[in-house]
């Protein structure tokens, strides 16, 4: 293996028991009839020392799951419970995925290689443990778009078509199959702590907190006793607020914000019925089964805070509940600050002060009332005053000329561009931005399903890359160890 490949199977060291209790279960991957490489994240492969793998070796490791050198000898299905649409479910866990390997990147951060669609585990229940090819394509598109928009997200690392015909109730069947490998900083979900609390295993809760501090929040290592638990929870509160704000700024709706779909690093992951909002509609939902709008666009911060309360409840077995509640009370202020940070970043503007959140809310109110296309507004007004002339050439320029926009314009014009040189990128020469609306996703999939044509998929990835280069939102610079 290359010199910059640095294995570190740290999660396995949490359990000294051969069966992995109480944190995970060693499992085996499914055997697939075919292995056709459909997507390979070469940029991130290089960062974790796997960029030089030949395609044959890539398929061997990420399709047949032959262990990486000096890494996990067997995959680990992580144990967790969770609230699903706010109903507690003790019958879940890694049901079609596992932790395949852990390794260090070029910034010495511990990262996980986890799977989706890799076969049945003890937690599959009645599922087949597989992933549709459409689901894999959708996750690649989601993660690439989110990373380009500056959202702290897991990365789609590999997508391999596996040659099986799957039956699904929510799409035409039989449908093609795949296995996805994602790269992320952590697979430690809120639900992992909930399961340990359910089992009344206080020692294991403490051990898992220590693992998280060691690898994700090393600035807290000096803390001891109960203060250590509170500081850890406070850090996760801040990170989760930041993630919710980033989703909003990206116009993204995750769709299924259950406690088992949120993790301790505040990293977005596990993309099922996601959507990008066409307009700023707070009631816009992603999942057809979200009949009450529990996880609607405008309620994602509420969902995140509720999930944090459940996480804090699990930690209350080893820390004072009142202190945990006090840490959670910071969520509102954290979220307001994070919203100002995220929206000003998306607009390419320098923060000006305490009134920035009011500027954001005014912008969102106008966007909601006007029905302006979500992504178009950020494209038109990137770098604020430096784009005033560009905005007048927009397909929606007439909206900017109306009186209702005047106060929003004043706020944008009063802020300094953070890097106006970026407007020289060819991306800003066109009239419209790169988007990822559901009709585009369906059109990409239709070409694959009907004609086995991957041209539209590749073209969309190329367009996202151009957008990413233009905006310069380097999500790889995210430091999970910092706390704000």
pLDDT at 481: 46
Confidence label for 102 from pLDDT (cuts 50, 70 and 90): very high
- Annotation marks residue 55 as catalytic: no
Whether pLDDT at 484 is above 50: no
Contacts of 289 (CB under 8 A, 6+ apart): 273
> Where do we find the tokens 């900083």?
185
Whether pLDDT at 373 is above 60: yes
Q: For 179, list phi and psi in degrees, rounded to 5.
A: -130, 130
Q: Catalytic residue, from 25, 260, 270, 380: name it.
A: 260
57-79 pLDDT, tens digit each? 999 999 999 999 999 999 999 99
pLDDT at 483: 40
50-61 pLDDT, tens digit each? 999 999 999 999
pLDDT at 123: 97
375-414 pLDDT, tens digit each? 999 999 999 999 999 999 999 999 999 999 999 999 999 9
What DSSP assignment string belongs to 393-420?
A: TSTTHHHHTSGGGHHHHHHHHTSPBS-G
Half-sphere exposure of 217 (CA within 13 A, CB side): 27
Confidence label for 92 from pLDDT (cuts 50, 70 and 90): very high
Distance of alpha carbon 178 from alpha carbon 187, whole angstroms = 21
Which candidate, 451, 425, 431, 420, places its Cα nearest to that of 390? 431
Using H for helix, E for strand and C for coil, what is the string for 228-270? HHHHHHHHHHHHHHHHHHHHHHHCEECCCCCHHHCECCCCECC
Distance of alpha carbon 305 from alpha carbon 175, whole angstroms = 37
pLDDT at 171: 86
Task: Copy the structure tokens of residue 211.
Answer: 């693992």
pLDDT at 476: 62
303-351 pLDDT, tens digit each? 999 999 999 999 999 999 999 999 999 999 999 999 999 999 999 999 9
Confidence label for 474 from pLDDT (cuts 50, 70 and 90): confident
193-228 pLDDT, tens digit each? 999 999 999 999 999 999 999 999 999 999 999 999
pLDDT at 3: 83
Distance of alpha carbon 362 from alpha carbon 174, whole angstroms = 48
Whether pLDDT at 477 is above 90: no
Mean per-residue pLDDT, 468-482: 73
Residue spans of the domains in the chain: they are 6-190, 224-339
339 touches 250 (CB < 8 A): no
Which stretch of DSSP H or E encloses residue 145? helix 133-148
Mean per-residue pLDDT, 19-37: 97
CB neighbourhood size of 456 (10 A): 16
Per-residue DSSP letter, 430: S
Distance of alpha carbon 152 from alpha carbon 449, whole angstroms = 30
What DSSP assignment string belongs to 188-206?
A: -BHHHHHHHHHTT-HHHHH
Confidence label for 479 from pLDDT (cuts 50, 70 and 90): low
Kindly report the average pLDDT of the chain as a whole number. 96
Distance of alpha carbon 375 from alpha carbon 45, whole angstroms = 30
Share above pLDDT 90 across residues of the chain, in percent, rounded to a whole number: 94
Distance of alpha carbon 88 from alpha carbon 49, whole angstroms = 40
178-199 pLDDT, tens digit each? 999 999 998 899 999 999 999 9
124-142 pLDDT, tens digit each? 998 999 999 999 999 999 9
Which stretch of DSSP H or E encloses residue 161? strand 155-166
325 touches 312 (CB < 8 A): yes
pLDDT at 2: 78
Task: Copy the structure tokens of residue 168.
Answer: 């699904």
pLDDT at 225: 96
Which candidate, 330, 312, 337, 327, places its Cα nearest to that of 245? 337
pLDDT at 235: 97
Contacts of 136 (CB under 8 A, 6+ apart): 38, 39, 116, 117, 159, 178, 179, 180
């Amino acid at each position: 293996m290359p010199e910059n490949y640095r294995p570190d199977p740290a999660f396995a060291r949490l359990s000294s028991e051969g069966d992995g209790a109480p944190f995970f279960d060693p499992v085996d991957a499914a055997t697939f009839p075919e292995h056709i490489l459909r997507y390979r994240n070469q940029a991130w492969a290089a960062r974790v020392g796997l960029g030089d793998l030949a395609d044959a070796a890539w398929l061997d490791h990420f399709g047949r799951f032959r262990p990486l050198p000096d890494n996990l000898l067997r995959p680990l299905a992580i144990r967790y419970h969770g609230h699903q649409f706010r109903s507690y479910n003790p019958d879940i866990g890694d049901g079609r995925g596992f932790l395949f390997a852990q390794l260090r990147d070029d910034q010495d951060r511990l990262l996980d290689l986890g799977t989706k669609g890799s076969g049945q585990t003890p937690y599959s229940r009645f599922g087949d443990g597989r992933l549709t090819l459409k689901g894999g394509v959708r996750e690649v598109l989601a993660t690439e778009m989110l990373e380009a928009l500056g959202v702290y997200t897991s990365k789609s690392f590999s997508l391999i078509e596996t040659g099986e015909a799957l039956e699904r109730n929510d799409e035409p069947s039989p449908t093609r199959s795949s296995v996805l490998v994602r790269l992320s900083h952590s697979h430690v979900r809120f639900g992992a702590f909930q399961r340990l609390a359910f089992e009344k295993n206080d020692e294991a809760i403490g051990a898992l907190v220590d693992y998280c501090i060691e690898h994700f929040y090393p600035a807290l290592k000096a803390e001891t006793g109960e203060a250590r638990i509170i500081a850890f929870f406070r850090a996760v509160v801040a990170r989760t607020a930041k993630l919710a704000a980033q989703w909003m700024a990206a116009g993204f709706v995750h769709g299924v914000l259950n406690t088992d779909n949120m993790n301790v690093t505040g990293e977005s992951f596990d993309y099922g019925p996601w959507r990008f909002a066409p307009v700023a509609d707070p009631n816009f939902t992603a999942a057809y089964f979200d009949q009450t709008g529990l996880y609607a666009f405008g309620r994602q911060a509420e969902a995140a805070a509720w999930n944090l309360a459940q996480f804090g409840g699990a930690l209350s077995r080893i820390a004072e509940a009142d202190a945990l509640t006090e840490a959670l009370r910071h969520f509102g202020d954290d979220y307001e600050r994070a919203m100002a940070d995220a929206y000003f970043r998306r607009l390419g503007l320098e923060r000006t002060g305490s009134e920035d959140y009011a500027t954001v809310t005014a912008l969102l109110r106008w966007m909601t009332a006007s029905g302006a296309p979500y992504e178009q507004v950020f494209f038109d007004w990137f770098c604020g005053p430096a784009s005033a002339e560009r905005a007048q050439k927009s397909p929606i320029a007439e909206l900017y000329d109306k009186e209702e926009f005047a106060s929003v314009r004043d706020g944008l014009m009063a802020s300094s561009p953070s890097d106006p040189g970026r407007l020289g990128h060819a991306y800003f020469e066109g009239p419209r931005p790169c988007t990822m609306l559901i009709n585009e996703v369906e059109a990409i999939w239709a070409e694959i399903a009907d004609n086995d044509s991957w041209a539209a998929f590749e073209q969309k990835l190329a367009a996202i890359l151009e957008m990413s280069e233009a905006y310069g939102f380097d999500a790889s610079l995210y430091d999970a160890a910092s706390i704000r």
